[in-house]
Structure 1
Amino acid sequence: MELLKDLTSMQFEYGIEEEDRCWLYLQGRYQGRMIEACAHATFFCKVLHNMRESIHKWQTSRYRSIGSHATVPKDELKVGIIGGGHLGKQLAHVLLDLVPIPPERLWISTRRPEALEELQNLGVRCFYHNAYLVGWADVIFLCCLPSQLPNICAEINTSFKKDSIVYSFVAAIPIPRLKRLLDHTSILRPHYQCVEGFANIWQSNREITAALQDPEILQATCPYNPAGGIILNIKWLEGVFYAALNTCTAKDLPHPLTLQLMNELFLSVHTDDCGEREESCPKLQLQDFVSQVYAKGLTHRRPLPWFDLASVQLRETPFTRKLLTCTSLQDHIIHFYCNEFGLSFTKEQPPMVSRNCLF
């Protein structure tokens, strides 16, 4: 692409009639959707990876405290991608570079594995067996066409582990239908809304991995930030929190420890306003995630219940109101999000969008 940079006649826009140039913004919007999708998938994998690391450290510390010399094997995140088209390939590169996922922990199932030679040379396993991939992976990204999805779901819906998470990029298939097709409840599907009148910052000729190292573009992908005109539904973010809770429940951790790890993970990066008064920072409480009635009956040693991630994104939960109204929590999440990509968030940003756009 760099070879063509200064050759006007080789640019995409060259052959477009003047009266049709008003549609060129769609090219930037398409690139923006791709960048946001890959950024949020990367953030999600970082969250799960970091939570598993925290659990492993706690387990190791616990064994040492009782004088045991047993070693706790690392439960490293395994990621599978179904679909090796443009999105699947871009996502694979971003996950390898920015999470980072080790190549041996990333598998791709596609009808044309021979077209992924570059990824195979990096050590990524590329083949065509959807059910086999699903039985191995902890997170499965669906990067296929809507017309292919029913057949794929029929192939894989008996192969899931209980804690496998399906992350769907198939925008045309809503969560309720996807839940029926998969017969599975651990599903995440980001939903994006495009807003008119925003400048195109997405640079359509740029690789996504490079774009996500640009502070302006990365901040535009932040939850609660409408820069670039593409807005993420905050119910997706809610699903990310509950997925992290399920990671702890899968390890049978007592709920007080789960909440401690959640606070250490999500609220570890403080805002400029915190100063030396970190005790005034928001804290995640049991009642933020379950009803008060359920919380009263939960004994100290019991783990949290297993949450249906599909229902979390479709209904109001105890955490919904807090995510939408607690500005200090929103600020901490934004700082945490940017920190996960190695960026310090700045306050030079557009104003927050309304609840109607986020929900």
Structure 2
Amino acid sequence: MMDIVAGLSSLSFESGLTDDEKKLLYLRARSARLTFCGCAHAAFVCQLLHSLRCSIKNYTGVPDSVASAEHGELAVGILGMGRLGKQLLVGLLQKTSINPSHIKISTRNPDSIEKSLPKEVECFFDNRRLAAWADVLFLCCLPSHLPKISRDLRCHLPKRCLVYSFTSAVPVTRLAQLLGHDFIIKPQYEFVPCDTEDLWLSCGHLTKALTDPFLIEASCPLSMKGGITLSLKWVCAVLYSLLNICTSASLGSSQTITLINGVFKEKCENHVQLDAHSFISSSVPLSDESFPWISLTDVQTKETPLLRFVSSSKSMQQCISAVYKSQLVKPLK
């Protein structure tokens, strides 16, 4: 059926704007690319962690009947259900193989959104309960709400819980102080001049946008396009988080490296083998000893052995990119 109003400038969004307001139209593209990239990157992280947790579960032989938050599949918590929280949930459900029953939400108004959620996703208002349960906790709150939320979470976050913060204007060092927690990832997106930034305006509906190969390619963390970039330290923080998960499971360094390499080998034929020296420069632990716990706050603010390795290895960068694009096209299993 023909759209009889298509092409009518008087009905377009821009028609009612003043000249000064039209100068701010670029913010629409900026908002769209932040939302798409943020949700796509978060889904990528969750799928990597989920795949590793499943590998650990298989390696340790923990049966489903006794699997807990520490030994079972990845448990994902979303704190805050505004626009970003809702979009993030869409991304996790669409682009990961995480069971919806392993996703829980804490929001101030659970009754208002409960009917719109998949029935397997539990929604409530209890930040402490969510923190104590989750393996990954996404902070999708406003900066003004962060002090109170931090007081709720402080002392209730297990060391194994990875906090992934979307809260703007709060650096990872400050967040670590507020939470008393150093297992945190805070993506630092930067905007650069670009002639193709309008490509993000096509991702108004995230469900559809996440199936667009061009947008997936443009959002690849190591070769982002469309006027947005992401620090390589984010990639390193993601890889170090895999290391910490194995450490929290009391796995030896040899098995840790084998399992992490296995996650990438599934989707990258020419995978570059990581080893202990890729992660740490100090004396390597014995094969049956665990790696030391790595502060992700330090990883995102200082130079690390892994940053030097990934920066100098084009093959490793290509492997990470291949895994990212493969997962976004079809989730890892």
Task: Verify same fold: TM over 0.5.
Answer: yes
Q: Deviations over 1:230-289 (max 9, x none)?
A: 101111111100111111111111111111111121244336xx5xxxxxx522111111
Q: Which position in structure 2 is the counterpart of 1:114?
A: 111
CA distance in 2, matches of 1:136, 1:269: 30
Q: Deviations over 1:156-202 (max 9, x none)?
A: 11111120111000121011110110001100000001111231111
- RMSD after superposition: 2.4
Q: Which position in structure 2 is the counterpart of 1:138?
A: 135
Would the aligned equivalents of 1:4 and 1:11 in 2 still touch at CA under 8 Å?
A: no
Shift of 1:154: 0.5
Would the aligned equivalents of 1:110 and 1:126 in 2 still touch at CA under 8 Å?
A: yes
Over 3 Å counting, the alpha-carbon distance change for 1:111 and 1:343 in structure 2 is closer
Shift of 1:71: 7.5
Deviates more, 1:313-322 or 1:200-209: 200-209
Q: How does 1:24-103 map to 2 (within 5 A)?
A: 24-60=25-61, 73=67, 75-103=72-100
Would the aligned equivalents of 2:110 and 2:124 in 1 still touch at CA under 8 Å?
A: yes
Which stretches in structure 1 are left out of the alignment for 5+ residues?
64-68, 275-280, 345-359
Aligned residues: 324
Shift of 1:72: 6.9
Q: Deviations over 1:13-38 (max 9, x none)?
A: 22123564343222011100000000
Would the aligned equivalents of 1:56 and 1:72 in 2 still touch at CA under 8 Å?
A: no
CA distance in 2, matches of 1:204, 1:160: 38
CA distance in 1, matches of 2:130, 2:214: 36
Over 3 Å counting, the alpha-carbon distance change for 1:320 and 1:285 in structure 2 is same
1:210 equivalent among 188, 208, 211: 208
The reply to whether residue 307 of structure 1 matches residue 322 of structure 2 is no
Would the aligned equivalents of 2:140 and 2:166 in 1 still touch at CA under 8 Å?
A: yes
CA distance in 1, matches of 2:14, 2:185: 36
Q: Secondary structure at the match of 1:81?
A: strand
CA distance in 2, matches of 1:111, 1:183: 23
Shift of 1:110: 1.1
2:217 equivalent among 216, 219, 224: 219
Q: Deviations over 1:142-162 (max 9, x none)?
A: 000001001100111111112
Shift of 1:7: 7.5
Percent identity between the two aligned chains: 37
Shift of 1:118: 4.0
The reply to whether residue 105 of structure 1 matches residue 102 of structure 2 is yes
Residue type of the partner of 2:52?
M
TM-score, normalised via structure 1 length = 0.84
Over 3 Å counting, the alpha-carbon distance change for 1:56 and 1:121 in structure 2 is closer
Which stretches in structure 2 are left out of the alignment for 5+ residues?
none
Q: Which position in structure 2 is the counterpart of 1:357?
A: none
Q: Secondary structure at the match of 2:195?
A: coil
Shift of 1:120: 3.5
Over 3 Å counting, the alpha-carbon distance change for 1:137 and 1:197 in structure 2 is same
Q: Which position in structure 2 is the counterpart of 1:164?
A: 161
2:317 equivalent among 324, 330, 345: 330
CA distance in 1, matches of 2:256, 2:232: 22
TM-score, normalised via structure 2 length = 0.90
CA distance in 2, matches of 1:219, 1:118: 34
Residue type of the partner of 2:209?
A
CA distance in 2, matches of 1:149, 1:101: 27
